């Protein structure tokens, strides 16, 4: 069975698209190799599923160093973070996903860790308590965030490299579909790969998950090659339209257009109407709908655009 991890790109050449980012990274990686110094701390920003975690793995593998993985919400106490930091060896990578969700007191531990490669640990309590400075190995922190605006200024200023990963072009997504299909061991026709790419909302994770679902659909029907006909039938069955909008996206637009005459509608109202978490709406569904011009974010809430009205009208025809 193919594990999802095998799908992840192993080095910068496997990492498709984002050419500018890769070009800059190659220079930083080369400089760190030449100077024999750890890579500068790096912040990766971008919507879910565009390759932040994958790029962190790629960087570690290009550096030929181990990577330890954690996430903002998983670090509950300062001690959790200190325990991770003190076990890092020279040049190793610590990856913190959703770094914007670290609490302030934990974030403060990172400041001295990132800047001075040291942490202050308080021993004992009350009047007898004393602070001891522990030196750390020179490591590289890679933080990832879907909400760049929520990163505090002191944390942000400690990252020497800030990388923004955006949505992918159709050609790049098509290449990702083809590469993933070959890892899965299935054949996908060119036009079918293009169609999958077109419905992926600019996001590699969606492209791969759609490919898996189309493949499952083919397997059930005993079809071995993923062609356009199979792909179109699968999308119809899955309720994914030509824009890549699924049922949740459609319901979101319907709530704004039909229940609230185009808005503005607050995030809490949308969350209750759709039965979806606020954060998921804000971070997963909205960015694409905004980028494609279906909705606008205003200070009073979300508003449907003419394109959304036309889209919803089209559904009832």
> Does residue 54 touch ligand ADP according to CB under 6 A?
yes
Query: DSSP secondary structure string, 33-70?
Result: HHHT-PPPPEEEE-STTSSHHHHHHHHHHHHT--EEEE
* C-beta atoms surrounding 254 within 10 Å: 17
Spatial neighbors of 82 by CB under 8 A, at least 6 apart, are 109, 119, 121, 134
Q: Quick one: which of 51, 91, 143, 263 contacts ligand ADP (CB under 6 A)?
A: 51
Q: What residues numbered 138-157 form the site for ligand ADP, per CB under 6 A?
A: 144
Least distance to ligand ADP, CB of residue 184, Å: 12
Q: Is 115 left (phi over 0), alpha (psi -120 to 50) or beta?
A: alpha
Nearer to ligand ADP, 22 or 251 (CB): 22
Catalytic residue chosen out of the listed positions 140, 146, 203, 231: 146
H or E segment and range at residue 248: helix 247-254
Q: How far apart are CA 181 and CA 252, in angstroms?
A: 31
Q: Which two tokens stand for residue 55?
A: 């790029």
Total of chain residues touching ligand ADP, rule CB under 6 A: 20
> Does residue 181 touch ligand ADP according to CB under 6 A?
no
313 is catalytic: no
Query: DSSP secondary structure string, 301-313?
Result: EEEE-HHHHHHHH
Catalytic residue chosen out of the listed positions 65, 158, 199, 205: 205
Q: Quick one: which of 176, 177, 252, 270 contacts ligand ADP (CB under 6 A)?
A: 176
> Does residue 15 touch ligand ADP according to CB under 6 A?
yes
205 is catalytic: yes
Backbone angles phi and psi of 42, in degrees to 5: -135, 135
53 is catalytic: yes
Q: Quick one: which of 41, 45, 52, 294 contacts ligand ADP (CB under 6 A)?
A: 52
> Does residue 12 touch ligand ADP according to CB under 6 A?
no
Task: Determine the interface stretch with ligand ADP among 42-50, 153-161, 235-243, 299-307 (rule: CB under 6 A).
Answer: 42-50
Picking from 281, 48, 282, 296, the residue whose alpha carbon sits closest to that of residue 165 is: 48
Nearer to ligand ADP, 24 or 87 (CB): 24
Q: Quick one: which of 91, 143, 204, 263 contacts ligand ADP (CB under 6 A)?
A: 204
Picking from 241, 260, 259, the residue whose alpha carbon sits closest to that of residue 249 is: 241
Task: Determine the interface stretch with ligand ADP among 8-16, 135-143, 153-161, 265-273 (rule: CB under 6 A).
Answer: 8-16
Question: Which residue, judged by CB position, is nearest to ligand ADP in the bound state?
Answer: 51
Residue that is written with structure tokens 């300062």 in the block: 78
> Does residue 205 touch ligand ADP according to CB under 6 A?
yes
By the 10 Å C-beta count (0-12 exposed, 13-18 middle, 19+ buried), 297 is classed as: middle
> Does residue 287 touch ligand ADP according to CB under 6 A?
no
Q: Which two tokens stand for residue 158?
A: 């400690």
> Does residue 72 touch ligand ADP according to CB under 6 A?
no
User: What is the set of active-site residues?
Assistant: 52-53, 97, 146, 205
> Which residues are near ligand ADP by CB under 6 A?
7-9, 15-18, 46, 48-54, 144, 176, 204-205, 208
């Amino acid at each position: 069975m193919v594990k999802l991890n095998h799908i992840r790109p192993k080095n910068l050449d496997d990492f498709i698209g984002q050419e500018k980012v890769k070009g800059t990274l190659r220079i930083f990686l080369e400089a760190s190799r030449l100077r024999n110094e750890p890579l500068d701390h790096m912040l990766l920003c971008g919507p879910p599923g565009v390759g932040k975690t994958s790029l962190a793995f790629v960087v570690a593998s290009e550096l030929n160093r181990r990577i330890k993985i954690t996430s903002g919400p998983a670090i509950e106490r300062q001690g959790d973070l200190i325990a991770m930091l003190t076990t890092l060896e020279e040049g190793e990578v610590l990856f913190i996903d959703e770094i914007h969700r670290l609490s302030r007191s934990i974030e403060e531990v990172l400041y001295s860790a990132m800047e001075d490669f040291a942490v202050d640990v308080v021993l004992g309590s009350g009047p007898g308590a004393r602070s001891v400075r522990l030196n750390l190995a020179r490591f590289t922190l890679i933080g990832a965030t879907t909400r760049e605006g929520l990163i505090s200024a002191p944390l942000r200023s400690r990252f020497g490299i800030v990388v923004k990963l955006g949505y992918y072009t159709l050609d790049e997504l098509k290449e990702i579909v083809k590469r993933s299909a070959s890892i899965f061991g299935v054949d996908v026709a060119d036009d079918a790969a293009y169609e999958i790419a077109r419905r992926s909302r600019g996001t590699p994770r969606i492209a791969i998950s759609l490919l898996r679902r189309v493949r499952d659909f083919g397997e059930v029907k005993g079809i071995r090659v993923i062609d356009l006909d199979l792909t179109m039938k699968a999308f119809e069955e899955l309720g994914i339209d030509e824009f890549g909008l699924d049922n949740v996206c459609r319901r979101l637009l319907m709530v704004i257009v039909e229940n609230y005459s185009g808005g503005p509608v607050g995030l809490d109202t949308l969350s209750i109407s759709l039965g979806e978490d606020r954060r998921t709406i804000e971070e997963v569904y909205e960015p694409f709908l905004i980028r494609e011009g279906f909705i606008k974010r205003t200070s009073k809430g979300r508003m449907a655009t003419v394109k959304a009205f036309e889209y919803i009208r089209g559904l009832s025809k």
